[in-house]
Amino acid sequence: MEYTGNNLSVSRLVFHNFRNAELERRLRLTSPQEGDVCAYCGNKFDFMVPMKQLELSRYTDWHLHQARTSVLFCLPCATILRTDDFRRKAVVADSKTVRFLTMAEPSDREALIQSLFYTPPDPLFAISIPSDYRKHIMLRAKLNFVRSQFYVQFGEHAVLLMPDVHRNVYESVKALIQSGASSAQIVRGTSISSIRPSPLLSFLLEITKFDHPSYRKDREG
Ligand SMILES: [Zn+2]
């Protein structure tokens, strides 16, 4: 599949490697009529999902829609919106795979850290990391075209990461956390003064919180 021009979207990238067969069995899919586009991404797709089939009473992302008057989602966007793992787990999607990673799992966390700071995926790719499991953030993630600087969707924030610059900052925050410093102390402190307080620092504190001695003690105890 080619990602060119007007069909470029995170949901297409994901859908190329991830299908929710159970969801697709439940949905009634329609073929797009002339002028039909997805409300969320604004693209046309071979399979569209009329919104009225979906329970949307708690859905709050109407303001992010590209096509405000459309009453359809494309199947790729509907798949992300209706598959819980996209909300609950960190997601690393590139042109070959979609990986779901659980932050509290050491091996998953290590894989995520590698993707962020050491060996980012080959473009095109998109990464989302939840800060609140109720929100649909994967569809907000930006498509990244280069590995030297890219966006990570962290909760509602798009955090710009430059691995060559931020690797050291990550390692500094991690060392402070491992030595027993609290998040509040780090936010107030001067040791990471170049980035405090910011979405980037919040993000670094989220991914290092598991390294704190009290977290590890809780798990062992
Ligand atoms: Zn769409």
pLDDT digits (tens, 9 = 90+) for 7-60: 689 999 999 999 999 999 999 999 999 999 999 999 999 999 999 999 999 899
Mean pLDDT of 101-128: 96
Q: How far is the CA of 165 from the centre of ligand 1 (A)?
A: 34
Residue extents of the structural domains in the chain: 5-83, 87-221
Q: How far is the CA of 22 from the centre of ligand 1 (A)?
A: 19
**48-69 CB burial, b ≥16 within 10 A, e <16:** bbeeeeeeeeeeeeeeebeeee
Q: How far is the CA of 39 from the centre of ligand 1 (A)?
A: 7
Q: How far is the CA of 11 from the centre of ligand 1 (A)?
A: 6
Average pLDDT of the residues of the chain: 91
For the entire predicted model, the pTM comes to 0.91
Q: How far is the CA of 73 from the centre of ligand 1 (A)?
A: 5
Q: How far is the CA of 6 from the centre of ligand 1 (A)?
A: 12
